[in-house]
Chains A and B, each alone.
Chain A
Amino acid sequence: MILEARDVGFRYADGAPVLSGVSFGVTPGRSVALVGESAAGKTTLLRLLLGLRRPTSGVVLFQGQPLPTGHRAARPFRRHVQTVFQDPYSSLDPRQKVSRIVAEPLRALGFTDHGSRVAAALDAVGLPADTADRYPHEFSGGQRQRIAIARAIAVEPTVLLADEPVSALDVTTKVRVIDLLAELRATRGLTLVMVSHDLAAVASLCDDTVVLERGRVVEQGPTSEVLGGPRDPYTQRLIASIPRLPR
């Protein structure tokens, strides 16, 4: 297991539990979807997996070790695990050039050859080299998401944690970004953990699926089984609700 949640629970000091008893594991090279609707606790779980918050019960393990606390201690973990967010507008600082945005993790994690790594990352996500000298607002939503992906892969992480990476994109753009993520997975052996409510994207990208409802895991297993033959009533309802194209 490269990343594992063991009986993870989370509650705010003054509120009802957001997550309780969540357990699942991610094998290196596999892709796992955390599926659920609003209030399922997906985003909180992602923040726990990123070590941005500590679980109030249970533990998150990276390579068998509890996530390190402290800025310095967490650096090796940060090198291995990078993130892509849902909203490509909020995830890129409007006042920085793309070169600086993509170089940020490189600088923070002690890499030296920024220029060549930024160029390689932009090339890997299919953006022209002159992208580096421009500002985010000059790009479309799909291109911005590619820039965000370039930033995430610049340090050559082993795990990519993606929070609804294609949900804000138009249909045609969505398909292209899904293809890009699939390609990066294949060529770099990336482990992908994707939080999403978009089951088509999940079915396209993820080997395994964990279904969350109100902070609990209701069903998990290979995607083909969970989405193809759901056993839990909630999963069944979720799948039945997806609008399908007329035959």
Chain B
Amino acid sequence: MYTTELQKQPSRPVAESKAEKEPQELVDAFEARVAADEFIEPKDWMPAAYRRTLVRQISQHAHSEIVGMLPEGNWICRAPSLRRKAVLLAKVQDEGGHGLYLYAAAETLGTSREEMIEALHAGKAKYSTIFNYPTLTWADIGAIGWLVDGAAIMNQVPLQRTSYGPYARAMVRVCKEESFHQRQGFEIMMAMANGTPEQKEMAQDALNRWWWPSLMMFGPPDDESPNTAQSMRWRIKRDTNDELRQHFVDVTVPQAEALGLSVPDPKLKFNDKTGHYEFGEIDWSEFWNVVKGEGPVAKERMSARVKAWDEGAWVRDAAAAHAAKQHAAKQAAE
């Protein structure tokens, strides 16, 4: 799953601070390489602002994968069949794996995993706002796979060509694994939509609650997204928030129709001339409230995360102690 960049303020321009004055010939060579679609690798020279932007984006992305396990993890024990349980378990395990690929990619930029995890637990790091909504019924698990992972895929596919090599390679792996997530979600929605009237109602209710948050996953509109231009120039981002959002609406509305469900937007209509759907206004004040940690379950998510981390401490300590003991024994024997 994916978080879009959640920083509302633009990054400081490079030249603003004296300490950051960077040799012009290095900056020019870097810009030329990026413009030529070359990949930047960890040991290559890069502007400090490029590094900062990437650390922020990749770590937010990693945190989103990790926190994304929580709303779905709640449903593993309540999955309606053994098949659904095995599938959900595999999906949640994938999300954990995606978090780990991304932490490893961020670490190549000189930040440590410990620092990133501490920032998340201290509430200083952002993660995708989508996970601060509750998962009320089994249909929510279907809607998350279909819509949330669907939006994530749309965001992540272009990132396979992002300019930073380790991030791009992590995205290739993530995208390969993600498409089952969306399909299993759609399958759940299909089963519910074709089930009893009560089940169909649950599916519709889940679509009603997840539709708008899914559109918000693409981030603020282009004219309010201060970092977009810079990130596009550095080829960190390959498409703007609004372009991706439009694409998502265009492909998802026919899927909802196939399910026999209706998208909760009275202004939604297909424009024959443009070949695109037009859709209603997004309530961005809600988005920014959720970003600030005011989502219905933000506190619950973070306390579940911290609890899991704290309760696993003895395992990590024991593994480290065992490694130290083995190492000492080996040295004594030599």
Whether A and B are associated in the same complex: the answer reads: no
Residues of B near any A CB (own CB < 8 A):
none
Residues of A near any B CB (own CB < 8 A):
none
